[in-house]
Amino acid sequence: MDTDAVLDLFAVVVAIIALSITALLAIRQTRTAAAGYALPVVLEMFAQFRGEEFYAAREYVIDVLGKEFDPPVPYRDLPPEVRAQVRLVAGRYDDLGKLVAHRVVDPELVIGGNGTAIRQVWAAVAPFVHQERAVHGTTTWIYLEDLANRAQALPPRDIYAKLGLQHSAEL
């Protein structure tokens, strides 16, 4: 092989490497930009989770709903004031599930911060959702269901361990 052929081959290899690096950097930059755009949305949602109205509604859904309506009825057949509380809680977690399912936010961020509550809320509303789906043929809160399944498969404690979070012995 002559010198010109070797130099041509070397130039092609360098060009391919440069193109690959450029493509990888562009993909990384796009992901970083997308995460930056999502951050205000996520922070706003997390702030809403700490609001008194949401907190009270979540307590009602987790602790009272199943006791007041046994056997469960389709979600839309609940009284309006009850339906509003369930919608506030389950609907917000369903929206968070959309962000996770569509890879807008990292599942570990959501599950690490809300995984236990997500599972509790789904367990509380699931009978009403299943009735809703059976009677009305809907896919009500499918993203919440998916998010609860993800939180079951990857418990928050596993995320804490992976991150190396420190806590006191009594936790």
Mean per-residue pLDDT of the chain? 90
Binned at pLDDT 50, 70 and 90, residue 44 comes out as confident
Q: pTM value?
A: 0.78
pLDDT tens per residue across span 105-138: 899 999 999 999 999 999 999 999 999 999 999 9
Quote the pLDDT of residue 32: 64
Report in angstroms the alpha-carbon separations of 169 from 66, 155, 166.
34, 19, 10
Quote the pLDDT of residue 110: 93
Higher pLDDT, 5 or 91: 91
Ramachandran quadrant class, 140 (left: phi over 0; alpha: psi -120 to 50; beta: rest): beta
Quote the pLDDT of residue 137: 94
**pLDDT over 90 (residue 3):** no
Higher pLDDT, 9 or 148: 148
Contacts of 155 (CB under 8 A, 6+ apart): 111, 115
Quote the pLDDT of residue 5: 84
